[in-house]
Structure 1
Amino acid sequence: MYKLDKIDRKILYELDSNSRQPFSSIAKKARCSRVIAEYRVKKLIETGVIVSLSALVDAAKFGLTSWKVYVQLQNREKEVVEKVVNYVSNNKHIWWIIKCEGDFDLMFCFLTKNVHEFYRLLNDFQMQFSKYELRMEVTTHIDPDFFSRGYLVVKESHKVCETFLKEPVIEKVDKIDVEILKMLASNSRMPSTIIASKLNTTPRIINYRIKELLKEHIITHFRLIPNVNKIGMDYYKVMITLQNLNKIKESGLRKFLELHPNIINYSNSWGPWEIEFEAEIENFKALAELINEIRKNFSDIIKKFEFVLIYEEIKATNNFLEYMKL
């Protein structure tokens, strides 16, 4: 386990807020020198605490919808799991894949142009793997929000970007914008000088285009993806089924989830449950205490909780720009 000190935590918190900000800015907020900030980030990458620093591109701005598939297998023979994982890993329409323990064994996300395309892709999956399934659930990403990792600096969390994956639209982007998005989706810290050199233009033009992509919310934000297992924490996804819906209570629940320092995102859902959130938290006991607190405060609208422990994130890049014809 990698033990974080106060400076490490502040640096991670700043990268989580904006992973493209310059080291001088990070150093100032972390109260250390630029050299130390740069060294610490390099060390956190080398030790695997930082998995990636990337731009999150809103797929809805390219007319796409995100669908989530949860699978519980009848048995977990290594050969079966590997077969399923290999299949979804090689599917270009799937951008997030996790292995988990709990109510489900695997979860993966599709990006598709419409429900008919999703149906065809899911049907192809079912033709091959339904014989291994004990249970499968399908939901959609509806108005997800990402929150800051307040637990790193012991403070309440807050939204780090505008709500995204809203109703699909087609934004006008040119080839240069697309190439910029591809590079930043791979590495949000790629210098504008290098991007400009690759695209035969100037850093000033690149900076202007990035600013416009942010302004139009095509880039939602520059994010941090950590491996919290490396720092002795667990990563959970929790699904909540609601009852007796009440706008005031539901709004209160959403605000509670937004401010909690261990909850990193939230989304509405259409399917077997209405709300999903993800938490990076010390252990199962801490998760149980969090769930009990939510149940106590919002018992009149909560019907059921389900959850999984995410122990391996196989794929976490929305590389749809690599295969879309724009």
Structure 2
Amino acid sequence: MVKNRGLTNTERLVMGRLEMDARTSLSRIGKSVRKSQQIVSYTVNSLVEKEIIRGFYTIVDYSRMDMLNFRVHFRAKYLGDRNFSELIDYLVSEKHTSWIATRGGGHDVVCSFLTPNPSKFNKIWKGIIEKFPEQIQKYVILTTIVNIDYGRKYLFNDNPKIPQKIYGGDKEPVEIDETDMRILKDLSENARMNSVELANKLSITPKTVIGRIKKLIKEEIILGFRPSVLARNMNHVSSLFLIKYHNVSLGGDEFITYISKHPSIVRAVKTIGEWDMELQVESENVAELRNVEMEIREKFATLIKDLYSVPLYMTYKKTFFPGFLAD
């Protein structure tokens, strides 16, 4: 039986349902976990107040918008809390950024960018360096090939059927009109915004909103809805495994199958650059994290050349919608 020391049993059940689909209504969650709607509402509000849940985001397949994803890990020279906050605030406000988090190891910040081409990314990144020349020091740039979101299987006592979400890669772009773009923008900021709220903001009917969301899901532009979780606030350790293969051509199908089933591995990112794969891992403690790392090293020694484990601290931004498209 899975133990979640930082969560009550009701919190774990509700978190599990939100992990499956963060837009599920409170009444449906209540029926699923056999709790009243009032208890579910109180539990969700409590999780937000404790900052275990820091919001709800929409998984948008940016490749369907003809976007590329670049990731930068960089060292930030410490010039005081105020200067560091100014850097983070600027990155958060930059409409091409999609994920910003602090990390340990040889770099301090990881930041992802969504841009239509490498030239645009280069221009944005060089502009950030010029604005913060004293703070941004050595950095590593990666091109993201594909992302696989496995969900938090460790929230469940049994074998969970959390659907994998695969985004990025070589997808056929689709045309998206202004109304759909505004729906994507609002849902990316709050995946639980209901259809009436969306309709009022966009001056359309709730029925139109529902129909358009269904269409965006059918076209695989929207892939799902998840809670943004701060693992440390439920007594879990969050880390990135940075993996370099001996030879990329060796494949790794067995490895992909393994990580897709492992309860502690919540996300995988295939990359081109300094390393070939990033795994986001959430474990109950450092000892369990170490066991996961050692098991991967030993089981896939012929595939994996190097594996570096670095702690993840705080996430400041998480969105899969290219914000500049809504301007």
Structure 1 residue 269: Cα displacement: 0.7
Q: Output one character per residue of 1:62-106: Cα deviation in whole Å (capped at 9) or x when no partner.
A: 221110001134x53436644543442342222211111123211
Aligned AA (1:92): K
Q: For this pair of structures, how many residues does the alignment match?
A: 323
**How far is the alpha carbon of 1:246 from its aligned partner?**
5.9
1:57 aligns with 60
Residues in 2 aligned to 1:184 and 1:307: alpha-carbon distance in whole angstroms = 33
User: TM-score normalised to the size of structure 1?
Assistant: 0.90
8 Å contact from structure 1 (residues 100, 311) kept in 2: yes
Do the aligned partners of 1:146 and 1:159 also contact (CA within 8 Å) in 2?
A: no
Pick the aligned partner of 1:212 from 212, 215, 233.
215
Q: Does 193-202 or 230-239 show the bigger shift? A: 193-202
Which letter does structure 2 place at the counterpart of 1:206? V
Matched, 1:8 2:11: yes
Provide the residue aligned with 2:281 in structure 1: 279
Contact 1:11–1:41 (Cα < 8 Å) also in 2: yes
Q: CA deviation at 1:283?
A: 2.5
Name the residue aligned to 2:190. 187
Contact 1:155 1:261 in 2 (8 A): no
Structure 2 counterpart SS, 1:278? strand
Counterpart amino acid of residue 206 in structure 2: P
1:324 match:
325
CA shift, 1:266, in A, is 0.5
In structure 2, how many angstroms separate the alpha carbons of the residues matched to 1:103 and 1:156?
36
Q: Equivalent residues in 2 for 1:149-164 (5 A)? A: 149-156=152-159, 160-164=163-167
Equivalent position to 1:45, from 45, 48, 57:
48
What displacement does 1:178 show?
1.5
Give the aligned partner of residue 315 of structure 2. 313
TM-superposed deviation, 1:230: 1.1
Partner of 1:72: 75
Indicate which of 212, 218, 222 corresponds to 2:225. Answer: 222
SS at 1:163 equivalent = strand
Q: Give me the whole-angstrom Cα distance separating, in 2, the residues matched to 1:319 and 1:325.
A: 9
CA contact (8 A) 1:238 1:276 kept: yes
Is 1:97 aligned with 2:100?
yes
SS at match of 2:10: helix
What amino acid sits opposite 2:222 in the alignment? Answer: I
Rounded to whole Å, the distance in 2 between the matches of 1:72 and 1:66 is 20
Q: CA separation in 2, counterparts of 1:223 and 1:208?
A: 21
Distance 1:226 1:150 in 2: 13
Q: Provide the secondary structure at the position in 1 that maps to 2:51.
A: coil
Residue 184 of structure 1 and its aligned partner are, at CA, apart by 1.2
The one-letter code of the counterpart of 2:100 is I
CA distance in 2, matches of 1:156, 1:139: 34
Question: Structure 2: which 5+ residue stretches go unaligned?
Answer: none
Q: Give TM-score, length-normalised by structure 2.
A: 0.90
Is 1:146–2:149 an aligned residue pair? yes
Q: Secondary structure in 2 aligned to 1:102?
A: coil
2:172 corresponds to 1:174 = no
In structure 1, which of residues 236, 240, 244 is the aligned counterpart of residue 243 of structure 2? 240
Give the Cα separation in 1 of the matches to 2:96 and 2:6. 37
Unmatched 5+ stretches in structure 1: none
C-alpha contact (below 8 Å) 1:156/1:260 kept by paired residues: no
The percentage of counterpart residues that share the same residue type is: 26
Question: What is the RMSD computed on CA atoms of the aligned residues?
Answer: 2.4
Asked if the contact 1:2/1:230 (under 8 Å) is kept, the reply is no
**Bigger Cα displacement from structure 2, 78-87 vs 5-14:** 78-87
The structure-2 alpha-carbon separation of the partners of 1:325 and 1:244, relative to structure 1 and needing over 3 Å to count, comes to closer
Secondary structure of 2:7's counterpart equals coil
Answer whether contact 2:52 2:234 (CA < 8 A) is retained: yes
